């Protein structure tokens, strides 16, 4: 049901404003009607939020369509800056891509989601939507499952309660008992496998990146077409890279 223009559907102004930004960021621009329809809000509400963002310099308007502006690039650089203090992570991701000849990526946990921080492509990489900054449910990617397997049980409980287990493909784990069994297998062998659970036709192998104190710092993975991703061949490579990052922390 579309919200009443006066009440805003019970959402706070801040929530609606952020939702407008997310709509614009998820596609190549949108008009007032598109934003209103996607968020099920009145056109007048959508227009008011778009006008606020435009007046503050956060979005641009071209031929009646609104687009994110470069001010978000400035904010993104500020968010990325702390990660620049760990150049060895980027170097290890690039080395992993070169050695595996497929895509390698480092993901970090934030608000109980997995966020792509660095990625590098080998010569046999397959295209996916895993751009830097993209957030994805942790249970649907190899690096995310590798991280989840290291979390205490109450944190996993809180994550599932908050986000559920949404399906990204028909192969995504959506049952809690199945997830628990998968995480136990990860703990036993030291790495996680993603069998088309985030993108159809893509397999991945991931390992947790731990600090010297044993805390989860992130997850490292390689991904590609199934005939190029053999866990028996790549698991040791990924786990070895994750351990090298841990050692870098220790002697930093």
Q: Is residue 65 domain-shared with residue 90, that is, in the same domain? A: no
CATH code where residue 65 lies:
1.10.10.10
CATH code where residue 234 lies:
3.30.450.40
Tokens for 58? Answer: 């956060």
Residue 98 domain-assigned? yes
Residue 2 domain-assigned? no
Q: Where does the pLDDT of residue 56 fall: very low under 50, low under 70, confident under 90, or very high at 90 and above?
A: confident
Number of domains in the chain: 2
Residue 53 domain-assigned? yes
Q: Is residue 38 domain-shared with residue 86, that is, in the same domain? A: no
CA distance 142 to 238: 11
Q: Where does the pLDDT of residue 1 fall: very low under 50, low under 70, confident under 90, or very high at 90 and above?
A: very low
* pLDDT value of residue 58: 82
Residue 82 domain-assigned? yes
| pLDDT tens per residue, range 232-251 | 999 999 999 999 999 988 77
Q: Is residue 46 domain-shared with residue 87, that is, in the same domain? A: no
Domain that holds residue 40: 8-69
Question: Long-range pairs for 12-19 at CB < 8 Å and ≥24 separation?
Answer: 16/41, 16/45, 16/49, 17/49, 17/52, 17/53
Percent of the chain with pLDDT over 70: 91
Residue 3 domain-assigned? no
Rounded to 5 degrees, φ, ψ at 122 are -85, 175
Which of 4-8, 52-56, 64-68 is the least confident region?
Answer: 4-8
Q: Is residue 122 domain-shared with residue 95, that is, in the same domain? A: yes
Q: Is residue 41 domain-shared with residue 98, that is, in the same domain? A: no
Percent of the chain with pLDDT over 90: 52
pTM given for the model = 0.76
Residue 146 domain-assigned? yes
CA distance 29 to 104: 30
The pLDDT of 97-116, averaged and rounded, is 92
Q: Is residue 188 domain-shared with residue 205, that is, in the same domain? A: yes
Residue 222 domain-assigned? yes
Q: Is residue 152 domain-shared with residue 35, that is, in the same domain? A: no
> Is the pLDDT assigned to residue 91 strictly greater than 50?
yes
């Amino acid at each position: 049901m579309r919200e009443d223009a006066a009440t805003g559907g019970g959402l706070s102004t801040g929530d609606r404003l952020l939702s407008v930004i997310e709509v614009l960021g998820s596609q190549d621009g949108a008009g007032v009607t598109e934003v209103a329809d996607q968020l099920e809000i009145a056109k007048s509400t959508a227009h008011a939020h778009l006008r606020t963002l435009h007046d503050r310099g956060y979005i641009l308007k071209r031929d009646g369509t609104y687009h994110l502006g470069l001010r978000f690039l400035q904010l993104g650089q500020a968010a990325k800056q702390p990660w620049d203090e760990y150049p060895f992570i980027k170097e290890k991701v690039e080395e992993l891509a070169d050695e595996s000849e497929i895509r390698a990526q480092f993901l970090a946990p934030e608000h109980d989601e997995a966020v792509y921080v660095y990625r590098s492509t080998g010569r046999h990489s397959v295209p996916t939507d895993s751009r830097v900054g993209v957030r994805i449910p942790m249970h649907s990617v190899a690096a995310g499952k590798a991280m989840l397997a290291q979390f205490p049980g109450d944190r996993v409980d809180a994550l599932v309660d908050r986000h559920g287990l949404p399906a990204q493909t028909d192969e995504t784990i959506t049952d809690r008992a199945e997830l628990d069994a998968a995480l136990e297998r990860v703990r036993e062998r030291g790495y996680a496998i993603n069998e088309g659970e985030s993108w159809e036709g893509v397999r991945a192998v991931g390992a947790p990146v731990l600090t010297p104190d044993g805390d989860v710092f992130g997850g490292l993975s390689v991904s590609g077409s199934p005939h190029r991703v053999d866990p028996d061949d790549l698991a040791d490579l990924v786990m070895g890279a994750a351990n090298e990052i841990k050692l870098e922390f220790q002697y930093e």
